[in-house]
Chain A
C-alpha cells in the first residue's frame, strides 16, 4: 500500500525533531504524576470513585489546554511555509489531487498531535482502574470531544495558513482565532445568562458552545465557571459536536478548494500616492479616511525614535489610519462594556461582572501581546534587517525603547478602552475604588510582563514562528496552568499548593482582589506582584542582554 507521500514527509520530519520527543515524554510524566498522587495507598478502594473523578477532571482540562495550545501550532505554518519556500507550487504540479494534498497535510498534523493524546491513554486507564468512571459515558465521550477539538483546530489552522502571507502572521491570526473561539465565545453568555430576553440568552448559549470548554466542563461534572447560581443549559457536548463537525467540514472543503495555483496570484499594491492628485480629490480622501492611506508620509521628526516609527509603519495595522480605527473600536467596546458593567453590576453584583471583565481582558492581553512582541527581534534577524540595524549608530537602548514602546503604546490603548467599565463599577459601589485600582494595577503589570516576556523570547530565536509559539505557550501556561490546579482545589490539591500556584498567575491576583467566588480565600497578593514584577525585570534584563549581545561583533 502506498502511503500518501505528504503524510510521510509531514509526519516523519516532525517526529524526528526534539520537540516531538518532548511532547511525548512531557504529558506522560505529568499524567503519571497525577495518577500516582491519587493512587490508593492503602488496601481500600473508594467505591464512589471520588479520587478517580478528581484526577479525571484534571485530565480533561489538562488535555484540552494542551490541545488548544499545540494543535494549531504546526498546521498554522504548514501551507504558508510551503508557499513561501516555493514547494507548494511544486506539489500542485505533481499528479497529487487537491484533496490528497489537503488530506496529507491534515492527517500529518493530526498524527503529530495524536501522539500526546495517545500517551495519555495509559494514565486514563489507570484512572479508570481506580473505579467510579464509565468507559463509554465519561472517558469515551471526553476523548471523542478532544478528538473533535484536534480535528477542528487543525482544520482551522490549515484554513488560516492558506490565506496568510507569512508564517508569523499565520501563527498570530491562528492563535488569536483559537483564543477568540475558545474563550471569547464564552463572553456573551457570561453577560447574558439569566437575561430577561430569552432569545438573546438562547443565542448566547449556542455561541458559548462554539467553545469546547463548556463541553469538557459538563463531561467532567463541573459547574459553569463564571456562572452565578443558575444552572446552565445541558447538552453542551452535543452542541459543540454539531458545531465542530460543521465548521471542520466547511473549513476543509474551502481550504481544499483554495489549493490551486491561483493561490500565488496575489497582486501586491505597488504604492500609489495622491501627491499629484487634484486638491479636491485630496480633500475628499481626507474627509473619507481622516488619514489618507495613500498620502506621502512626512519624514521622521528630529527627536523621534526612528525604530518606534518604523515598528508602527511596518506593522500591518500600525499605520495612522488603522490606529484611528483601533481607537474607534476601543471606544465602542468601551461603551459596550460600560453598558454591560452598569446593567450587570446592578443585577449580578460587582464581583461577578468584575471577574468576567478581568478574564476577558487578560484573554485579550494573552491573545495580542505575543502577536505584537514575539517578532520584535526575531523578525529583524529573519528578514536580514538586523545586520542593517547593526550598521547604524543606533544604541541597544534606543532600539529596545523604540520596539517596546511600539507594543506598549498599542496595549495601553486597548487597556484604556476598558477604563469606563471599571469607572462605572466605582460609581455604583464607591467602596470598591481601592479594589478597582488594584485590579487595574494588576492588569497593567500583566501587560508589562507579557510584553517583556514575549520580547525576551523573541530575542532567543532566529525565526518569528517558533518565537510566537513559545511566547503563547509560556503566557498561556503561566495564566492557565495555575487555574488548572485551582480547578482541583479541594482535591487532589491542597490549599497551600493551589495558593502557591495562584501566586504566579496574574489572572488569579486580579480575581482575588475582586473577591470573586472561590478566589477570595487565597492570599495571593502581594506575593503575586513581587513574582510578576521580578519576572518582568528578569525578562527585561534578558532582553537587554540578548539584544546587546546581538549588536556586538561575534
Chain B
C-alpha cells in the first residue's frame, strides 16, 4: 500500500432498505494516521457506513475501499486490514481476558508463540494488562472497552473503527480512552470514531464528518468546518429586562432577514441569533436596538465549539448541505 494518499476512500455510497434511504451518495476520504470523528444523530447512517466499511453490509451503489482493497468485493482481505469494535462488546461467558484474546488471535490464524506475545502487547497498549486473568463478564464497562480495543489491535490492523468507544465511561475512563486513541494514531493507525460525546471528539479528531439522514453535511478538519459554519456567527444580545424581549426579537428578525432562527429567552432576557452579517451591519443592528429604546447590557459573539457546529449543521435544511462541504465533496 502506498505510504501517501488516502487510506479510506468512500465514493458515492448509497444504501437503501426498501424505500428508506439510509445513506445517500456519501463520499469522503481519510489519510493515514488521522482520526476521523464520525458524528450524527441516532439513525443518521453512521453504523451503516461503518458496516459497509467492514464488509458486513452490501451497499446499494457506490464504492468503499480501505488501503486500496474494495470493502465489498474483498471482504476477506478487509478483515485483516480493519479492527472493528462495535457498540456492543460481544463477550463470552466463563472466559478469562487472555483466553478471550487468545481465541480471536487463533481465529486470525496467528501462530501460538506470536499470539501469546501479541496478547500481552495489546493488553499493555490498551492498559488492560492488569486484568489479564479476570473473567470477561466480571469487568466493568470501562475495562471491557479497553479489552475491546485490545481485541481490535490483535491482528495489527491499519484502520481501526470504533463505534461509540466512550459510551458509558466515567470521566476518568474517558480521559484515558482519549489518550489511548491519540496514542494509536501516533502509532500510525488510522481511526474512525463515532461518538455522541462531542467535546471528547473535538479534542482528539483531526477530521470531522457530520452526517444526518444519510447525507454528509460537513466534512473537513474541525477548524475548516468551524470556519465555514462561523460565517454564520452566533450572536447573543443580553437585555436589561425581559419586558422589551418581544420587541427586540422582532427588530432582530427584521434586520437579519436571512432565514436565521432568532430565539428569545424570557428567563434570561437574552436574544440569540445566527447570522452572516458583517461587523458594520451588526453595529447598525445594535444602534437600532438602542435607538428603539431597548435596554442592551451586552451585545457579543459566542465562540462556537463542535457541539454548536454540530447543532448548526444538523438544524439546517437538507438543501443547505453544500454550504458545509469542501468544494470537491459537493453532490453532483
Q: Which positions in A face B, CB cutoff 8 Å?
A: 166, 268-273, 275, 296-297, 299-302, 304, 306-307, 309-310, 313-316, 318-319, 383-394, 553-554
A-B contact pairs, 24 of them (CB 8 A): A269-B138, A271-B133, A271-B134, A297-B96, A297-B99, A299-B102, A299-B105, A299-B106, A299-B115, A300-B112, A306-B103, A306-B106, A313-B99, A314-B92, A314-B95, A319-B94, A383-B88, A383-B92, A384-B91, A385-B92, A387-B90, A388-B86, A391-B54, A391-B56
Residues of A within 8 Å of B93, CB to CB, are: 166, 314, 316
Residues of B within 8 Å of A313, CB to CB, are: 92, 94-95, 99, 103
Contact of B96 among A271, A301, A390, A554 (CB under 8 A): A271
Which of B75-83, B234-242, B303-311 is found at the contact surface with chain A?
A: B75-83
Q: How far is the CA of A301 from the CA of B113 in the complex (A)?
A: 10
Q: Is the CB of A300 within 8 A of B102?
A: yes
CB distance from B114 to the nearest CB of A (A): 10
Q: How far is the CA of A84 from the CA of B293 in the complex (A)?
A: 62
Contact of A384 among B75, B86, B102, B112 (CB under 8 A): B86
Residues of B within 8 Å of A273, CB to CB, are: 133
Contact status of A296 and B98, CB under 8 A, knowing A268-B138, A393-B76, A553-B57: yes
Q: Is the CB of A554 within 8 A of B57?
A: yes
CB distance from B144 to the nearest CB of A (A): 11
CB distance from B205 to the nearest CB of A (A): 23
Q: Is the CB of B56 within 8 A of A296?
A: no
Q: Which residue of A lies closest to B54 (CB)?
A: A391
Residues of A within 8 Å of B82, CB to CB, are: 391
CB distance from B2 to the nearest CB of A (A): 24
Q: Is the CB of A388 within 8 A of B104?
A: yes
Contact of A314 among B94, B111, B134 (CB under 8 A): B94
Q: Is the CB of B107 within 8 A of A389?
A: yes
Q: Which residue of A lies closest to B88 (CB)?
A: A384
Residues of B within 8 Å of A385, CB to CB, are: 90-92
Q: Is the CB of A553 within 8 A of B55?
A: yes
Residues of A within 8 Å of B112, CB to CB, are: 299-302
Q: Is the CB of B107 within 8 A of A271?
A: no
B281 in the interface (beta carbon within 8 A):
no
Q: How far is the CA of A323 from the CA of B58 in the complex (A)?
A: 42
B173 in the interface (beta carbon within 8 A):
no
Q: How large is the interface on B (under 10, 10 to 19, 20 to 34, 35 or more residues)?
A: 35 or more
B316 in the interface (beta carbon within 8 A):
no
Q: Is the CB of B133 within 8 A of A383?
A: no
Q: Which residue of B lies closest to A398 (CB)?
A: B107
Contact status of A383 and B91, CB under 8 A, knowing A300-B106, A391-B84, A553-B72: yes
Contact of B151 among A272, A275, A388 (CB under 8 A): A388
Residues of B within 8 Å of A301, CB to CB, are: 112
6 nearest CB pairs, A to B:
A384-B88, A306-B106, A384-B90, A392-B107, A271-B134, A553-B58
Q: Which residue of B lies closest to A300 (CB)?
A: B106
Contact of A271 among B54, B75, B91, B138 (CB under 8 A): B138
> Which of B51, B75, B84, B107 has the largest count of A CB atoms less than 10 A from its CB?
B107
Q: How far is the CA of A166 from the CA of B111 in the complex (A)?
A: 35
Q: Is the CB of B94 within 8 A of A300?
A: no
Residues of B within 8 Å of A309, CB to CB, are: 103, 106
Q: How far is the CA of A273 from the CA of B103 in the complex (A)?
A: 19
Residues of A within 8 Å of B95, CB to CB, are: 310, 313-314
Within 8 A of A (CB), among B127-148: 133-135, 137-138
Contact of A270 among B98, B103, B108, B138 (CB under 8 A): B138
Q: How far is the CA of A553 from the CA of B55 in the complex (A)?
A: 6
Q: Is the CB of B107 within 8 A of A296?
A: no
Q: Is the CB of A553 within 8 A of B94?
A: no
Q: How far is the CA of A71 from the CA of B205 in the complex (A)?
A: 55
Q: Is the CB of A392 within 8 A of B108?
A: yes
> Which of A272, A297, A301, A318 has the largest count of B CB atoms less than 10 A from its CB?
A297
Residues of B within 8 Å of A391, CB to CB, are: 54, 56, 79, 82, 84
Q: Is the CB of B107 within 8 A of A315?
A: no
CB distance from B54 to the nearest CB of A (A): 6
- Other contacts beyond A314-B92, A387-B86, A392-B104: 4, CB < 8 A: A299-B105, A299-B116, A304-B106, A314-B94
Q: Which residue of B lies closest to A392 (CB)?
A: B107
CB distance from A219 to the nearest CB of B (A): 44
Q: Is the CB of A393 within 8 A of B86?
A: no
Q: Is the CB of B75 within 8 A of A553?
A: yes
B259 in the interface (beta carbon within 8 A):
no
Contact of B107 among A269, A302, A316, A393 (CB under 8 A): A393
Q: How far is the CA of A310 from the CA of B92 in the complex (A)?
A: 9
Residues of A within 8 Å of B137, CB to CB, are: 268
CB distance from A547 to the nearest CB of B (A): 15
Q: Is the CB of A270 within 8 A of B56?
A: no
Residues of B within 8 Å of A300, CB to CB, are: 102-103, 106, 112
B317 in the interface (beta carbon within 8 A):
no
Q: Is the CB of A393 within 8 A of B80?
A: yes
CB distance from A167 to the nearest CB of B (A): 13
Q: How far is the CA of A302 from the CA of B99 in the complex (A)?
A: 15
Within 8 A of A (CB), among B272-313: none
Contact status of A553 and B56, CB under 8 A, knowing A306-B106, A388-B86, A388-B90: yes
Residues of A within 8 Å of B134, CB to CB, are: 270-271
Q: Which residue of A lies closest to B148 (CB)?
A: A388
Q: Is the CB of A393 within 8 A of B108?
A: yes
CB distance from A322 to the nearest CB of B (A): 10
Q: How far is the CA of A104 from the CA of B90 in the complex (A)?
A: 34
B171 in the interface (beta carbon within 8 A):
no
> Which of A306, A319, A391, A553 has the largest count of B CB atoms less than 10 A from its CB?
A391
Residues of B within 8 Å of A318, CB to CB, are: 94
B109 in the interface (beta carbon within 8 A):
yes
Q: Is the CB of A394 within 8 A of B98?
A: no
CB distance from A416 to the nearest CB of B (A): 25
Residues of B within 8 Å of A306, CB to CB, are: 103, 106-107
Q: How far is the CA of A519 from the CA of B198 in the complex (A)?
A: 73
Q: How far is the CA of A385 from the CA of B89 in the complex (A)?
A: 8
Q: How far is the CA of A553 from the CA of B72 in the complex (A)?
A: 8
Q: Which residue of A lies closest to B161 (CB)?
A: A391
Residues of A within 8 Å of B107, CB to CB, are: 306-307, 389, 392-394
CB distance from A378 to the nearest CB of B (A): 14
Residues of A within 8 Å of B99, CB to CB, are: 297, 313
CB distance from B169 to the nearest CB of A (A): 18
Contact status of A310 and B103, CB under 8 A, knowing A553-B57, A553-B72: yes
Q: How far is the CA of A307 from the CA of B106 in the complex (A)?
A: 9
Q: Which residue of A lies closest to B86 (CB)?
A: A387
Residues of A within 8 Å of B57, CB to CB, are: 553-554
Residues of A within 8 Å of B52, CB to CB, are: 553
Q: How far is the CA of A353 from the CA of B111 in the complex (A)?
A: 52
Residues of B within 8 Å of A270, CB to CB, are: 134-135, 138
Q: Which residue of A lies closest to B84 (CB)?
A: A391
Contact status of A387 and B106, CB under 8 A, knowing A313-B95, A314-B94, A316-B94: no
Q: Which residue of B lies closest to A272 (CB)?
A: B133
Residues of B within 8 Å of A383, CB to CB, are: 88, 90-92
Q: How far is the CA of A273 from the CA of B151 in the complex (A)?
A: 22
CB distance from A49 to the nearest CB of B (A): 56
Q: Which residue of B lies closest to A310 (CB)?
A: B103
Q: Which residue of B lies closest to A318 (CB)?
A: B94
Residues of B within 8 Å of A394, CB to CB, are: 107
CB distance from B207 to the nearest CB of A (A): 24
Residues of B within 8 Å of A302, CB to CB, are: 111-112
